[in-house]
Amino acid sequence: MLFHVRMDVNLPLAMPENQANALKKTEKEIAQGLQASGKWRHLWRIAGQYANISVFDVDSVDELHTLISTLPLFPYMQIHIMPLCRHPSSIREDDK
């Protein structure tokens, strides 16, 4: 199942810089591992914002929830999720 996920990150202004940097470092490691596994298919930064648009390829809504909710930055995110399905006019044979 494919999901379009927008994640807007809002770290508290009072958060110490070393704590924020540690969270971001761990987040990057997890995100790159999920990309390598194929679960996090695409990751794009939204220009001028601390936000991203991602495409996840998971087996269920529960799996998506688990992946997202275990991200270190999850407590500081506003998340919007849209389920995706293959468009009948798509020329891409590898769409799911």
Q: What is the pLDDT of residue 93?
A: 78
Q: Say if 89 falls within a structural domain.
A: no
What band does 79 get if pLDDT is binned at 50, 70 and 90?
very high
**How many domains does the chain contain in total?**
1
Q: What is the CATH number of the domain that holds 37?
A: 3.30.70.1060
pLDDT in tens, 9-60: 999 999 999 999 999 999 999 999 999 999 999 999 999 999 999 999 999 9
Domain presence at residue 54? yes
Domain assignment of residue 96, yes or no: no
91 assigned to some structural domain? no
In the numeric block, the tokens 């998506």 are attached to: 64
Over range 1-7, report the average pLDDT.
Answer: 97
**Residue 14 sits in which domain range?**
2-84
End-to-end CA distance of the chain: 7
Is residue 71 within 8 A of residue 27, CB to CB? The reply is: yes
Residue 94 maps to a domain: no
* Within a domain: 39: yes
Residues 83, 1 contacting (CB under 8 angstroms) = yes
Q: What is the pTM of this model?
A: 0.90
